[in-house]
Amino acid sequence: MGNASFLHDLLHPKSIAIVGASNNPMKMGTMHALSILKDGFDGRLYPIHPTEATVLGQTAFKSVQDLPEPPDLAIFVLPSKHLPPYFEDFGKIGTKSAIIITAGFKETGNEGAQQELLLLETARKYGMRFIGPNCMGLINRAISLNTTVSPLMGPPGKLGFVSQSGTYVAQTIDYLEKRGIHFSKAVSVGNEADVNLIDVLEYLGEDEQTRAISLYIESIRDVRRFLEVAARITPHKPVIAQYIGGSVAGARAGQSHTGAMAGQNHLYDGLFRQTGVIRVDSVEDLYGIGWALANQPIIKGNRIGIITNSGGPGSAIADTLEAQGCTVPEFSEALREQIRPLMPSHAPCGNPVDMTFALDMKVMTETIPEMVMKSGEVDGVIIHGAMSSGFMKVIYPHVKEMLGDMPLDDFLKTTKRDLSESVRLPFKHEIPLIVSAFFDREDQYTREYEDNGVPVFDSPEKAARAMGKMVAYSGIRNRMRNKGPEISEPHPDAVRIISDALLNRQRTLDEFSAKRLLNAYGIPVTEEKLAADATGAADAAATIGFPVAVKACHPEILHKTEQGLVHLHLTDVEGVRDAVDAICKAYGQPVPILVSRMIPGSRELLVGLINDAQFGNCVAFGIGGIFTEALKDITYRVAPVSRVVAEEMIGDLKTRKLIGPHRGMPAVNTAALTDLIQRISIIGNIHKEIEEIDINPLLISGSAPVAVDALIVLK
């Protein structure tokens, strides 16, 4: 692909020029240059400096025109006001790739935004592609290229990383090294004036060195392209994302329930679910869970075995696993018979296997885990409490005298173990292993596990959450996929309804018109008639059949219940007449009246559509009626959606038990509900004039969904 091609060139230069490096080690440009020189890049580096003859031992050049060749990559770390002439000079000599570390562009306001636009125009003029401005560079371990300010540590890894924050690429190298985590490639995209997060995601999706991708996201500008690219990658490579900003953005100010509750956080959550991207809540999980997914075998199910040297952590792991949708099955008697002779007599071995502080680490980390993996009774294993040198170092002051004052180093040598079989277990049996330990890399177990691709977390709950995400990714890989719906031609009745409303300068359709439009696209609605007065309403009720509901029906009335403009369960003509009089009195003047057949049913749902400035059309599904705002149990997806995605939305609800058989009520017809969600998701693409649709409540009558109230807002 084109994106993969140009990014491959940008990440694999053979020659680099840097503007802004000097012989002052405290200057940022110098730090970037030192990383290139010291971390193994074997290409050519050309410093540009107006006065120095050499920079960091390299021949320096006074101008771009003095360079012996057009470099493959140009890096800029100089004040923004001095940058444009240099940038154009590189374009003139034929350099095709650049990284602009320099800040001071659109993040500073309108003037900076104009300067950034000029950079983009210059790049287009000369056929250049660039990362930044306002970024911290990139790392490509395949060629030992590091253009950030922090020295590389440790071996190359399998985790690709893309960040809209430079800190998470450049300032975390030491933090990650202490946790045994290493990147394959990492890119700080900065202001994304040219190359953006989606470009790099697409490239990493094809990169053979990268087995999992972590994303730090503050905003996605092209939601449709992200949806297409991420959905193409996640079936064969895990993508993990942390999104920051939803709480700041707050809820969208919509006129319908659907719109009012569609804050950015809700929409990002729906986008990630729709694409198969695994969302995490912290940068710690972004690295740690990403590392686990990049290194461990893909889990085949949700059955997890727990082996621990303490009951508390074992229970914490079990509870957290179950909250993550995993199971902790009790081991068979045959497996327990194998384990029991290796355990203290009082220790439980049914899962969790609790060694109760036994110090025979070989049994705990090798013998029993292999028995469990071979049993066929689990899909993954978590070990808590593997330790050797770390623990011995802690107890050394107490045992030193008993050891004849043996030096600490000599004492630690006696604890050294051959862990080669322990660290090979997950790869030998193709069953993922995750470790929880309170000792860091000073401990032999932690160090060797991490160095061999077995992730170690510093708490039982973190280890369990990581295993839960591995199970979630297995579901993403295996989920059914189908194409999105075809967009049909506009229905003539719907076109006429919208045209009439626009001619009348209406912002909303009245309920009767909204339901007629929905029914034109196959949405089941209540049987109803529109009346001008009490006599007409009484006649309509007699025709429809009692009981009926009577409502005010006017495009300016959005939410009727709160204003006393709805009367339900009317059983005779006099009741209808009285209700109409009460409605007109509450409204303050005569108003058209909608008479609807009362539909039996107590389960109320919500289905809707919004048009968001960033996300475009999004479909919503959740709990409706009077509990909409209280429960806030609503899920969103970018519209239109496939049937599979519509089915997943139904499964998203925290209160999804209401969809099944409940208190004598039959299970909801999920096929009909899925069809309805999908149909609603299409309408906004058919009619661009529609901004919001709100069906609330969508009443479940028996097992069938019926729209008993509807609001449509026009742009």
In a shared domain, residues 634 and 688: yes
Single out the residue of 175, 176, 133, 172 nearest to residue 149, CA to CA. Answer: 172
In a domain, 535, yes or no: yes
In a domain, 491, yes or no: no
Buried b (16+ CB within 10 A) or exposed e, 266-300: bbbbbbbbbbbbbbbeebebbbbbbbbbbbbbebe
What pLDDT is recorded for position 293? 98
The whole-number average pLDDT for the span 181-198 is: 96
User: How sure is the predictor about 392, in pLDDT bands with cuts at 50, 70 and 90?
Assistant: confident
What's the rounded Cα separation, in Å, for the pair 47 and 67?
9
pLDDT, tens digit, for every residue of 156-176? Answer: 999 999 999 999 998 899 999
In a domain, 266, yes or no: no
In a shared domain, residues 609 and 586: no
Structure tokens belonging to residue 16: 């680099």
User: How sure is the predictor about 395, in pLDDT bands with cuts at 50, 70 and 90?
Assistant: confident
What's the rounded Cα separation, in Å, for the pair 290 and 31?
28
What pLDDT is recorded for position 663? 83
Residue 148 has pLDDT above 90, yes or no: yes
What's the rounded Cα separation, in Å, for the pair 294 and 534?
69
Residue 248 has pLDDT above 70, yes or no: no
CATH number of the domain within which 577 lies: 3.30.1490.20
Angle in degrees, CA 420, 421, 427, rounded to 5: 105
- C-alpha distance across the termini of the chain, in Å: 37
In a shared domain, residues 657 and 566: no
DSSP characters for 208-238? TT-SEEEEEES--S-HHHHHHHHHHHTTTS-
In a domain, 669, yes or no: yes
What pLDDT is recorded for position 485? 80
What pLDDT is recorded for position 188? 97
In a shared domain, residues 80 and 177: yes
CATH number of the domain within which 40 lies: 3.40.50.720
pLDDT, tens digit, for every residue of 661-710? Answer: 988 889 999 999 999 999 999 999 999 999 999 999 999 999 999 999 99
Angle in degrees, CA 251, 272, 705, rounded to 5: 70
Q: Which of 224-233, 285-294, 578-587, 653-662 has the lowest mean pLDDT?
A: 653-662
In a domain, 263, yes or no: no
pLDDT, tens digit, for every residue of 32-74? Answer: 999 999 999 999 999 999 999 999 999 999 999 999 999 999 9
In the chain, pLDDT over 70 holds for what percent of residues?
97
What pLDDT is recorded for position 3? 52
In a domain, 265, yes or no: no
What pLDDT is recorded for position 286? 97
Residue 365 has pLDDT above 80, yes or no: yes
User: How sure is the predictor about 249, in pLDDT bands with cuts at 50, 70 and 90?
Assistant: very low
Residue 228 has pLDDT above 80, yes or no: yes
Phi-psi group of 550: left, alpha or beta (phi > 0 → left; psi -120 to 50 → alpha; rest → beta)? beta
In a shared domain, residues 72 and 186: yes
Q: Which of 436-445, 577-586, 587-596, 661-670 has the lowest mean pLDDT?
A: 661-670
CATH number of the domain within which 658 lies: 3.30.470.20
Cβ–Cβ under 8 Å, residues 577 and 537? yes
In a shared domain, residues 540 and 610: no
Among the candidates 448, 478, 508, a domain finishes at 478
Host H or E run for residue 159:
strand 159-163
Single out the residue of 331, 313, 321 nearest to residue 368, CA to CA. Answer: 331
In a shared domain, residues 32 and 175: yes
Question: What are the φ and ψ backbone dihedral angles of 603, each rounded to 5 degrees?
Answer: -95, 120
Single out the residue of 256, 253, 227 nearest to residue 609, CA to CA. Answer: 256
Residue 257 has pLDDT above 60, yes or no: no
Under DSSP, the state recorded for 453 is T
DSSP helix/strand/coil, 146: strand
In a shared domain, residues 53 and 159: yes
In the block, residue with structure tokens 């050891």:
403
In a shared domain, residues 545 and 694: no
Residue range(s) defining the domain that contains residue 618: 603-714
Who contacts 428 (Cβ-Cβ below 8 Å, separation ≥6)? none
Residue 370 has pLDDT above 90, yes or no: yes
Who contacts 278 (Cβ-Cβ below 8 Å, separation ≥6)? 238, 239, 240, 241, 272, 289, 293, 469, 472, 473, 476
Residue 483 has pLDDT above 50, yes or no: yes
Count up the domains in the chain and report the number.
Answer: 4
In a domain, 275, yes or no: no
What pLDDT is recorded for position 250? 40
Cβ–Cβ under 8 Å, residues 202 and 1? yes
What's the rounded Cα separation, in Å, for the pair 241 and 249?
18
Write down the mean pLDDT value for the chain.
93
pLDDT, tens digit, for every residue of 103-122? Answer: 999 988 899 999 999 999 99
Structure tokens belonging to residue 208: 């053979």
Cβ–Cβ under 8 Å, residues 158 and 181? no
What pLDDT is recorded for position 4? 62
CATH number of the domain within which 324 lies: 3.40.50.261
The whole-number average pLDDT for the span 139-145 is: 97
Strand runs labelled E in 56-144:
58-59, 73-76, 97-100, 129-131, 138-140
What pLDDT is recorded for position 158? 97
User: How sure is the predictor about 263, in pLDDT bands with cuts at 50, 70 and 90?
Assistant: low
What pLDDT is recorded for position 1? 43
In a shared domain, residues 15 and 119: yes
Who contacts 253 (Cβ-Cβ below 8 Å, separation ≥6)? 259, 260
Among the candidates 419, 454, 478, a domain finishes at 478
In a domain, 220, yes or no: no
Among the candidates 165, 180, 210, a domain finishes at 210
What pLDDT is recorded for position 628? 77
Who contacts 664 (Cβ-Cβ below 8 Å, separation ≥6)? none
In a shared domain, residues 80 and 196: yes
The pTM score is 0.92
The whole-number average pLDDT for the span 197-220 is: 96
Residue 255 has pLDDT above 60, yes or no: no
What's the rounded Cα separation, in Å, for the pair 134 and 308?
47
pLDDT, tens digit, for every residue of 549-581? Answer: 999 999 998 878 888 999 999 999 999 999 999
In a shared domain, residues 96 and 145: yes
